[in-house]
Structure 1
Amino acid sequence: MSVKDDLTSVQRSLDELNRALGRLEQQLGREPLDVRRVRTDADHLRESVALLRGAQPAESPRPAIVPVPIPEAPYDASLWRDADDEGLGARDRRAP
């Protein structure tokens, strides 16, 4: 799951908690201190999730992978004329 999906899932859970608290308040007939405390905590969680959602960078699409063509023709030998063989040194000198 992506972060966006997880935040959406948390938001849905908080919405369900809010609905359940509303039903609980109706059943109890009044708003007891404990229910008020839970509702306040749920509101704080809702604000925190909103902050997390706002802090997430916008998802940008991945750049397309562009294949780099590699020619089948052999390289020009003149490209390697003055090159040293790695670990062997220059052709006209002895290796260390």
Structure 2
Amino acid sequence: MALHEELTAAQRCLDDLARSVDRLAQQVGAGLEIRRVRSDTEHLKESLALLRDAAPRQAPAPLVEMVPVPEQPYDQGLWTDVDDEGLGASGRRAP
């Protein structure tokens, strides 16, 4: 997986974690423990943002030049010195 995809997947996981922490806070209340978990989640988000900024940027893929294929049949003279691939040489028999 490419670095950008890994960072995006980590961001999605952190977003899910933040939503889960919010649901827990509603059930447990706003005690010291939940504030610490929420703070740790925010630190992870900040750390991931720093990592994303420090990650090398991917160079765009080089453009591939399109090669036109002619519609007319190829010159049969191009194939005089080759064997039929998979069929063996013409005029010879298999052992």
Do both share a fold (TM > 0.5)?
yes
Instruction: Report the Cα offset of residue 57 of structure 1.
Output: 2.2
Instruction: Report the Cα offset of residue 35 of structure 1.
Output: 1.0
| Structure 2: unaligned runs, 5 residues or longer | 66-95
Deviations 1:23-53 (A, max 9, x none): 111112x211111111111111100100011
Query: 2: distance between equivalents of 1:47 and 1:12?
Result: 14
Over aligned residue pairs, what C-alpha RMSD do you find? 1.7
Which one-letter code corresponds to 1:48 in the other structure? S
Give the corresponding residue for 2:16. 16
Greater Rg, structure 1 or structure 2?
1
| Structure 1: unaligned runs, 5 residues or longer | 67-96
Instruction: Report the Cα offset of residue 58 of structure 1.
Output: 1.9
Runs of 4+ with deviation above 3 angstroms:
62-66
**What aligned pairs does 1:28-67 form with structure 2 within 5 A after superposition?**
28=28, 30-63=29-62
Q: Percent of aligned positions with the same letter in both sequences?
A: 48
Query: 1: distance between equivalents of 2:37 and 2:62?
Result: 45
Query: 1: distance between equivalents of 2:19 and 2:38?
Result: 10
Aligned residues: 65
Which one-letter code corresponds to 1:7 in the other structure? L
Query: 2: distance between equivalents of 1:64 and 1:10?
Result: 30
Instruction: Report the Cα offset of residue 6 of structure 1.
Output: 0.7
Query: 1: distance between equivalents of 2:64 and 2:18?
Result: 45
* TM value normalised by structure 1: 0.60
